[in-house]
Structures are given as structure tokens and as C-alpha cells.
Amino acid sequence: MGQGTSQTLAPLTARAGWKKLQQHSASMRDAHLRDLFAADAKRGERMTASGAGLYLDYSKNRVTDETLQLLVQLANEANLRGRIDAMFRGDKINSTENRAVLHVALRAPRGEKIVVDGEDVVPKVHEVLDRMAAFAQRVRDGSWRGQTGKRIRNVINIGIGGSDLGPVMASEALRHYATRDMTFRFISNVDGTDFVETTRDLDASETLFIISSKTFTTVETMTNAQSARKWLLDQLGGDESAIAKHFAAVSTDAAKVSAFGIDTKNMFGFWDWVGGRYSMDSAIGLSTMIAIGPEQFREMLAGFHEMDEHFRTTEFSKNLPAIMGLLTVWYVDFLNAHSIAVLPYDQYLKRFPAFLQQLTMESNGKHVTLDGRTVDYMTGPVYWGEPGTNGQHSFYQLIHQGTHLIPCDFIAFAKSLNPIARHHNLLLANVLAQAEALAFGKTAAQVEAEGTAKELVPHRVFEGNRPSNMILADHLTPKILGALVALYEHSVFTQGAIWNINSFDQWGVELGKVLAQRIAPELESPSEPPLKHDSSTNALIRRLRADGRH
């Protein structure tokens, strides 16, 4: 078992690479990017790497060649190469759920072979993709008709978490490529407002719901799906035969889909080896495929695959996801950073940070190793962000002059998909200026030389030495989006491999779900229920019950 190899490894903090990095970090704490650049005229050209259409400039990080060598040593000592091979081979590296982790199979070209439990999964992947393509084509060209004979104008994906965030992000990111004669909307929150506000102006006879749920048991999704069913039948006169024309399902559970009343001809499957947050390129991407069409969806898969191959075959010192993952470990464990800001300079990527929050934090927000020991080092950082330039006018202040070290990932494109006037040059000027200002800052001497009043000088000093990555591509395409998502998927994998944690389970979301199941009937009970929570929860339940909801 791939990640099982951890048992044969020394604990992370006892390894030679870790100890050397600890010593090295003491000398690096005071190293300033100004000096690192001054000492090496070619740094900005040398500390770069390319792959799958992406260019990464990591020169504005607080690292030297020695840091990178030691990080690669750390990767080797963690058997990163062996772990990558184990994932691509289909080993059950999600050991707490005894599952393979094969999102890479979702974008494997026809003819490749990946065997899980004795079965090649690649043909199954392509069979579902072909069925999705046929369905998407019919919805797009209007040959799929609703109950009253009208064509579909509105597609609503109902799902949550991994069954929502990827499709939402892709819907925004690829809007330029999407058909403009349909609307694409998303309902995730169990808050009825989400359902009501999303549907209020829509005609049910032109609306297709896609119920996306791997398990088909998730309370939020099932509650919204029932409301969708009622909303549709209320508008269309109550004939249940309308369900088959207005509902499709994406799930791993055909029996539950059928029990809900959805024709399994309109069901698109995936498998337990696809984690929710790694599923936007599975059938969970059906709304994306309807929006951009099957060909462009396949282009997106090709971008994912190109980055997969880059990650699988490139030496770590030139490997984009490995470099980004190792830099994250460097900042979190050796330079005391707690969060990473992701700052796309592209309006289409406005939901990319939200998508990444789940991908990164649900994956690496873990405090025990694969063999169940509590870690004695920091693991997954907080990821957050907003598109530039908006963020510049709000939270960048803290990144520039605050007391926290916040490494930034800037994402930008050479060309705009909407080239009007000077907009794009101004956008690019801003992203370059921010990275420059963060790294090099402005010294007291420079501030004084500008004639600044003495008492204002400290306020106007920029210390600099704030690290960032710059990720560039030519322009945003489905293929580039695939490569970008895979870049972060594999960066997360790299981090998880070093930390020796399971990046593919999410037990941390369970407890709240169980408690909510217990509290809901207590809120709804007609008679005063006996409450056995803590005094705070008991009092809050009584207070909300007094509002007459039972």
C-alpha cells in the first residue's frame, strides 16, 4: 500500500532533511529578498518552471538553492515518488476508507489502463463521458424537451461541497466558452433562501435540475431536491411523469436515485475512488459540460491530464505541483506562516479561491498521521483569497504591512478574453506591481528621500520580504483551467505526502452532521423535548423553540 510505506519511514521530524531545514531556516529568517535578488542577477529567470501551459516564477520566495535542495531531500525521504506512483497505480492510498484515489483516471485518455480491484476503470470513465456528451448535446441543441414540449433554458445543479464548488467555479471560469442562450445556476445551502432566490424568476417548463450527490443521502441536497420536485410539480400541474423530463442525477447510488423517482437512464455515475473535492471532472461536471459542450469539456480533461503527466514524470526540482507543495511546507513548518492567499487577476476566476478552500483545507486539515499518531508539526494552512484588483483595495494592507507572513499565489494571463481599452494592461501592471511591492518594499531611507514628514516615516515604510508565486498562462481556456486545478490537486498531494497524513478522507465533517440530526427533531417536536446537551446548547434550543417552529 502506497501510503502504508510510511510505517517504514522515520517520523518526519527525525529525518535528516527536516533537521537540516530547521538549521537552515534559522539562517534564512533574516534573509531579505532584496539581498537574494541583488546577489543573483538571473534569479528571476532561473527560479522558474513550466508545464502544461503554465509558467511558474517562484523566485520571489524566501528560498535559496540550498533551501530547494533540502526540500527535495525532504520529498525523497518521504518517498514522494513512490506515493505518486501508488496513486496513479490505483493503490488504496485512502487507507481510512480503504479506497483508491483515482481522480487521475477521470482524465486518462482512452486506451490507458488503470486497474482497481482487478478491473480496468478507464473504459468505464469513457462510457460515462460518452453518455454525458450525448445528453449534454440534446439539451444544448434543444432536442431534449421538457414536459410541455419546450426546450430547456435553465440548468440548476443541486449539490453541496464537492458536488457544488467545482461546478460553480467552472461555471464562472468558463463562462466565456458557455452557451449564452441558457442560464446555469446552483443551489447548495439548506437555507431555503438559496432555493427560493435561485428559482423565483424561472419557468419550470424550461428548467432542468441536476441532482448531484455521490451518496444521494446528503441532507442539504436531498432537502433541496424534494423542494425542487414540489416546485416543479406545482408549476406543471402535478403529473409525476414530468420528473423524468426535468431531473437528471449524478451519483454512485442507482438504487437511491431510482427511489427518488429519477429515471436511471438520466443518471450518470462515478465511483468511490473519486473524492468529492476531486470530482469536478467526473459526471459531477455535467452542468459544466452542458454549458461549454462536450468537446471543450474534453479539452479541460486534456489540461488536467497534461498536468498529471507533468507531475508524474518530471523531476521535483522542475515539477510545478511539487515545487508549490514543498514551498507551502517550508512556510508553514519552518517560517511560521499560517495561511496562503490565492489572488487570481482574472474576473472569471472569482470563485477559484472558494473552490481551493475545500480542496486544500478538507484535504490537509488533519492532525494525525496515516498510522494514527498526533503530529508534532503544523499541517495544512488556511487558503483564502479574492480576485485582484479588488483585494488590493481591502485586505492587501495586512499582507503588505501587517505582522503575519502570508505567502501569495498570483495567477494572471497574458491575454484577456475581453480586451477593451487599457483594462488588461492595467490589470497586469497591478499584479506585477503587487508582487514587486511585497518582495522589495520601501525602506525608511527611500521614504525619507521623498520628503515625508519624520513622524510619518515608520507608517509609510514597507518592510518587503513578503513572498509570492506568479503563475502565468497565455489566456484562460478550458484546458488551462484543467491544468490549474490539477496543479493545486497535486500540490495538496505533495504537502500531504510530506506531512504523512491522509489527504483524502474528511472525518472532521461528521460530528456536526450527526449532532444536527439529533437537534432537528428537538426543534420540531410538538411537546417540550428532554434536552441532554450542554447548558448553552439547551438554552439556545429552548429560545429558538419559543419562536413557535414546532
Pairing between β-strand 54-57 and β-strand 339-344 as defined by DSSP bridges: unpaired
Q: In angstroms, how far is CA 55 from the centroid of its own chain?
A: 20
Q: Which stretch binds ligand G6Q (CB under 6 A): 269-277, 303-311, 369-377, 434-442?
A: 269-277
Q: How many residues bind ligand G6Q (CB under 6 A)?
A: 14
Distance CA 92, CA 86 (A): 8
Dihedral sign for Cα 114, 311, 367, 516, please. Answer: negative
Q: Of 157, 199, 213, 502, which one interacts with ligand G6Q (CB under 6 A)?
A: 213
Rounded Cα gap, residues 156 and 184, in angstroms: 6
**Minimum distance between the CB of residue 275 and ligand G6Q, rounded to whole angstroms?**
5
State in angstroms the smallest separation of the CB of 161 from ligand G6Q.
2
Complex with ligand G6Q: residue 277 or 424, whichever CB lies closer: 277
Q: Considering only the stretches 91-99, 212-220, 396-404, 431-439, report the one whose residues sit in contact with ligand G6Q under the rule CB under 6 A.
A: 212-220
DSSP state of 52: T
Q: Is 265 a catalytic residue?
A: no
Pairing assessment for the beta strands 247-251 and 267-269 based on DSSP bridges:
parallel
Q: Between 218 and 328, whose beta carbon lies closer to ligand G6Q?
A: 218
Whole-number minimum distance, CB 163 to ligand G6Q, in Å? Answer: 4
Can you tell me which residue has the cell 487599457? 422
Closer of 101 and 243 to ligand G6Q (Cβ): 101
Q: Which residues of 207-227 are buried (b: 16+ CB within 10 A; e: fewer)?
A: bbbbbbbbebebebbbebbeb
Nearer to ligand G6Q (CB atom), residue 190 or residue 531: 190
- Write each residue from 215 to 254 as x if it is in contact with ligand G6Q (CB under 6 A), else as -, in one continuous string: x--x--x---------------------------------
Minimal distance in Å, beta carbon 412 to ligand G6Q?
28
- Smallest distance, Å, CB 304 to ligand G6Q? 17
Give the residue with the Cβ less far from ligand G6Q, 347 or 506: 506
CB of 95 closer than 8 Å to CB of 502: yes
Q: For ligand G6Q, which is the closer residue by CB, 212 or 347?
A: 212
490: enclosing H helix or E strand: helix 478-499
Answer for which of 2, 166, 269, 275 binds ligand G6Q (CB under 6 A) is 275
Cβ atoms of 490 and 73 within 8 Å: the answer is no
Helix residue spans in 314-422 (DSSP H)? 320-329, 352-364, 396-401
Three-state secondary structure call for residue 466: coil
> Please, what is the minimum distance in Å from the beta carbon of residue 369 to ligand G6Q?
20
In this structure, the number of other CB atoms found within 10 A of the CB of residue 201 comes to 8
| Stretch (H or E) spanning 511 | helix 510-524
**Of these residues, 19, 404, 423, 513, which one is catalytic?**
513
List Cβ neighbours of 127 (8 Å cut-off, separation of 6 or more): none
- CA–CA separation, 128 and 117 (whole Å): 19
Task: Tell me if residue 247 falls in helix, strand or coil.
Answer: strand
Between 214 and 424, CB nearer to ligand G6Q? 214
Cβ 57 to ligand G6Q, closest distance in Å? Answer: 31
CB 382 within 8 A of CB 358: no
Supply the angle between the helices 294-313 and 122-141 in degrees, to the nearest 10: 150
Residue from 203, 211, 76, 74 nearest 149 by CA: 203
In this chain, which of 43, 140, 277, 298 binds ligand G6Q, going by CB under 6 A?
A: 277
Query: Cell numbers at residue 467, please?
Result: 513572498
Amino acid making up residue 234: D
In sequence order, what are the residues at sequence separation of 6 or more whose Cβ sits closer than 8 angstroms to the Cβ of residue 23?
Answer: none
For ligand G6Q, give the closer residue by CB, 151 or 214: 214
* Contacting residue, 167, 276, 388, 467, with ligand G6Q by CB under 6 A: 276
Minimum gap (Å) between residue 272 Cβ and ligand G6Q? 11
Between 218 and 369, CB nearer to ligand G6Q: 218
From residue 238, how far is each of 62, 124, 231, 241, 394 by CA, in Å?
Answer: 64, 37, 10, 9, 50
Residue whose CB is less far from ligand G6Q, 61 or 282: 282
Site for ligand G6Q, residues 120 to 179, rule: CB under 6 A: 160-163
Considering the candidates 42, 265, 315, 393, report the single residue annotated as catalytic.
Answer: 393
Interface map 350-369 toward ligand G6Q (x if CB under 6 A): ------------x-------
- Residue 393 annotated in active site: yes
CB of 175 to ligand G6Q, least distance (A): 23
Does 287 contact ligand G6Q by CB under 6 A?
no
64, 266, 347, 506: which one binds ligand G6Q (CB under 6 A): 506
Q: How far is the CB of 49 from ligand G6Q (least distance, A)?
A: 28
- Cα gap 354→326, rounded to integer Å: 22
**Catalytic residue check, 295:** no
Distance between CA 57 and CA 469 in Å, rounded? 6
The one catalytic residue in 172, 362, 386, 489 is 362
| Grid cell in block for residue 305 | 491530464
Which are the catalytic amino acids? 362, 393, 513
> Where along the sequence are the contacts to ligand G6Q (CB under 6 A)?
160-163, 213-215, 218, 221, 275-277, 362, 506
